[in-house]
Structure 1
Amino acid sequence: MPKKGENIYKRKDGRWEGRYIKSHTYTGKIIYGYVYAKTYREAKIKLKEKRLPCSSQVIKKDINLFSELATEWFESVKLHTKVSTQNKYYNMLKNYILPEYGSKTFDTITHEFIEEHCKFLLESGGKNGTGLSAKTVSDTLSIIRNITKFANKKGICISYDANAVQIKQNAKSMRVLNKTEQTQLCEYILEKPEPCNIGILVCLFTGLRIGEICALRWEDISFSDQSIYIHHTLQRIQTHQDHGGKTKVVTTTPKSACSIRRIPLPDEISDILVSNQKSSSGYLLTNDDFKFIEPRTMQNKFKKVLKSAGIADANFHALRHTFATRCIELGFDVKSLSEILGHATVNITMNRYVHPTYEMKKENMQKLSELLAVK
Structure 2
Amino acid sequence: MSRRGENIYFRKDGRWEGRCPVGKRTNGTTRFVSVYGKKYSEVKTKLMLLKLKQTNTLDKTTIYSDGTLSAWMTYWLDVLYAPYVKRSSSDAYRTIIESHIEPTFGSVRLTKLNTKTLQIWLDELTVRYAPSTVHNIFRVLNSILSKAVDQGLIQRNPLKDIRKPKYEVKKARYLSRAEQKQLEKTIRQDGKLEYLLCLYTGLRLGELCGLRWDDVDFLNNELHIRHTIKRVKQSGQKHTAVIVSTPKSTSSERTIPVPPFLMQQLKRCRKENGFVFESTGGRYIDPRTVQERFSGIAKQAGIIGAHMHTLRHTYATRCLEAGIPYDVLAELLGHSSPLVTLKCYAHCTGEQKHCYVNKLHQLVEKF
Q: Secondary structure of 1:285's partner?
A: coil
Matches for 1:275-294 after TM superposition, within 5 Å? 276-286=268-278, 290-294=282-286
Identity of aligned residues (%): 30
TM-score by length of 2: 0.78
Report the Cα distance in structure 1 between the residues aligned to 2:304 and 2:230, rounded to whole angstroms.
26
**Retained in 1: the 8 A contact 2:225–2:252?**
yes
Rate the CA distance shift 1:153–1:313 in 2: closer, same or farther, 3 A: closer
2:202 corresponds to which letter in structure 1?
G
**Retained in 1: the 8 A contact 2:70–2:106?**
yes
> 2:200 matched to 1:226?
no
Rate the CA distance shift 1:331–1:215 in 2: closer, same or farther, 3 A: same
**Retained in 2: the 8 A contact 1:282–1:288?**
no
Q: What is the aligned partner in structure 2 of residue 314 from structure 1?
A: 306
Report the Cα distance in structure 1 between the residues aligned to 2:270 and 2:113, rounded to whole angstroms.
62
> 2:147 matched to 1:150?
yes
Matches for 1:297-336 after TM superposition, within 5 Å? 297-336=289-328
Match of 2:5 among 23, 26, 50: 23
**Retained in 2: the 8 A contact 1:114–1:162?**
yes
Which shows bigger deviation, 65-74 or 360-369? 360-369
Q: What is the aligned partner in structure 1 of residue 348 from structure 2?
A: 356
**Retained in 2: the 8 A contact 1:281–1:287?**
no
Q: CA RMSD in A?
A: 2.6
Q: What is the aligned partner in structure 2 of residue 250 from structure 1?
A: 243
2:262 corresponds to which letter in structure 1?
I
Report the Cα distance in structure 2 between the residues aligned to 1:163 and 1:198, rounded to whole angstroms.
49
1:110 corresponds to which letter in structure 2?
N
Match of 1:270 among 263, 267, 285: 263
Per the TM alignment, residue 245 of structure 1 is displaced from its structure 2 partner at its CA by 4.8
Q: Secondary structure of 2:231's partner?
A: strand
Report the Cα distance in structure 2 between the residues aligned to 1:354 and 1:317, rounded to whole angstroms.
17
Per the TM alignment, residue 143 of structure 1 is displaced from its structure 2 partner at its CA by 1.2
Per the TM alignment, residue 164 of structure 1 is displaced from its structure 2 partner at its CA by 3.0
Structure 1 gap ranges (5+): 6-19, 31-58, 124-130
Match of 1:84 among 68, 88, 96: 88
> 1:12-63 deviations in whole A, cap 9, x for unaligned?
xxxxxxxx71233xxx578xxxxxxxxxxxxxxxxxxxxxxxxxxxx97797
> 1:318-367 deviations in whole A, cap 9, x for unaligned?
10111111111111121111100000011211211454212212323444
Report the Cα distance in structure 2 between the residues aligned to 1:106 and 1:177, rounded to whole angstroms.
49
Which shows bigger deviation, 81-90 or 337-346? 81-90
Which shows bigger deviation, 291-300 or 100-109? 100-109
Report the Cα distance in structure 2 between the residues aligned to 1:162 and 1:251, rounded to whole angstroms.
36
**Retained in 2: the 8 A contact 1:278–1:287?**
no
TM-score by length of 1: 0.76
Structure 2 gap ranges (5+): 10-59
